[in-house]
Structure 1
Amino acid sequence: MSDTLHICGLESARGQKLRTCLPVLDTTTKIPITIINGCSNGPTVLITAGIHGGEYPGIAAAMELGRDIAPEDISGCLIILHPVNIHGFWARREFIVPEDGKNLNREFPGDANGTLSQKTAWLLSHYFFPLADFYIDMHSGDIHEELHPYVYYPGLPNDDISAKSRDAAQTLDMEFMVRSTATTGAYNYAAISGIPSLLIERGGTGMCLRQDIDAYKNDIHRLLHKLGCIAAAPLLQKGALKCQILCTSVAWNQPADKNCAPACRSWIQLLKYPSPSSMAVVTALPSSSLPVSTAVNTPVSRQLWSWAAT
């Protein structure tokens, strides 16, 4: 990488941090972005959060990482977009970009002449993926989903990309790791394009809890250490898991509890193990589930809105 990073009209010199907004071509939409150009050479790591605007812990963690990491802390360059689906974030919408009703994570590689979702996917695919040596996509259970933390790594690219992605995934404090055979989604498209990539899932149900944010920040610090971007690795958290169970896929079922209002229902997450007949329910609807209108209005969530406004 050259001493100065140039991308989409933005410029970050060696040893500089840039916090600004990235225009999406031919629209009025601007995506918050932080570029941290380290003081020494190293890999370029791309991080996205909020491809789904209602998945708050990853968005909050990305904002805090962008705020707290200094150029002297890293080798290489760190590019963080937070949140990518800015309109879905403000509208508190699950899955979709409100302007076109599309799931942004199903629109890659995108279309420069398409809708807002397609233009955003094209922007990432065309300008950001080619710069990255590694890509991390931060997700959570959406507003109506509760999940157990886990990480996807791509299984369909060449063996080298898949192996590098899985090796990085094994540094995380997570019990479950899923080998994805999908071809859709930002991280799968990046992997097919030759970039080792991961998709991490933590938190959900419209909540933005401090413990999920801190766990996510620990995940990213561990990955940055593994990739050679930072010198010191965070310690394993108290009670953290030191091994991972490989799963083949993830499925979701919605409970048919007639005594529970639709707004209070969470989807149940199922992880399938390598044996086709083996499946485990790892999360289920808790008795304390909150309606969406309540869950997204917690003190931490309100703080998140104020961060995004500054």
Structure 2
Amino acid sequence: MKACFILPLALALGASARAQIIEEIPLQPPLPANAPQTIEEVVYRHGNYDDRGFNRAVQKVTVPTLTVYRPAKPAARGEALIVCPGGGYSYVAIDREGHALGRYFSARGITVAVLKYRLPDPSVTKDGLPLSQQDALAAVRYVRNRAQEWNLNPKRIGILGGSAGGHLAGSVGVLGQAADGTRPDFVTLLYPVICLEGPYAHQGSRTKLLGASPSPERIAEYSLERRARVDLPPYFFVHAKDDKGVPRQNSELFAAALKEKGVPAEVMIVETGGHGFGLGRDAESGRWKDAFLAWLGKLP
């Protein structure tokens, strides 16, 4: 089903949201008029709604954007959070894993930038950097470059992602470089895809990201549990025991590899919530929000 994308600004209803500054910013110029045109699609899905009753999946993204939620009362430490929604690298689950988090954390003083990223296309990038990773790295750099304008601390720019968006955010932690402003200062992963090989691999995400027959070297490059090294930023993981979509071992294996290298890594395993719970499907899976804010407050 095709539909026109509803600008996130239209979601800013209610007293708390009206106090925020919300804008959608393109991360690259629009395609030239003579370029082949692809119509972005938005699917309105039933069930698993966010706090506003939406559960939209965005497909065929050609121009990546950041929807920025700037709080009326910024936190004293000036944190910012780029949010990468999941969707198995097949679509962008823009509401429950995107805008809902933007509203929630901006109401608590954190500037949040929800990333609508281009989906990977291995036929276009071949063995180069996937389009989704290009956009997420650009998002970190963009927000850091706006630190003075938005009253942010340029050394407290983090990234968060859920499911395949967790793989995207986690890979930005690995790929980002301080020299060009793309290295996040902290990484938060909700029920993330980490493993692209072995018994806990998420085959669907691997195929969408790397193609049907990637080389062993290419698979290893994006199997994040194999990419731990000493200079990575701190990581915070959240996973449910009853997650049948992405086993919790994805979080546990990467966290263990990070700790072995001396990188701070905290894993929060909740009893229930399944997969894709966003801000929380029940009280148990919703506990992560306070735990994350407490963890963030302890970072140097």
Q: Report if TM-score (shorter chain) is over 0.5.
A: no
Using the size of structure 1 for normalisation, the TM-score is: 0.38
Using the size of structure 2 for normalisation, the TM-score is: 0.39
Normalized per residue, the structure richer in strand is 1
For CA contacts below 8 A with separation 6 or more, give which structure has more relative contact order. 1
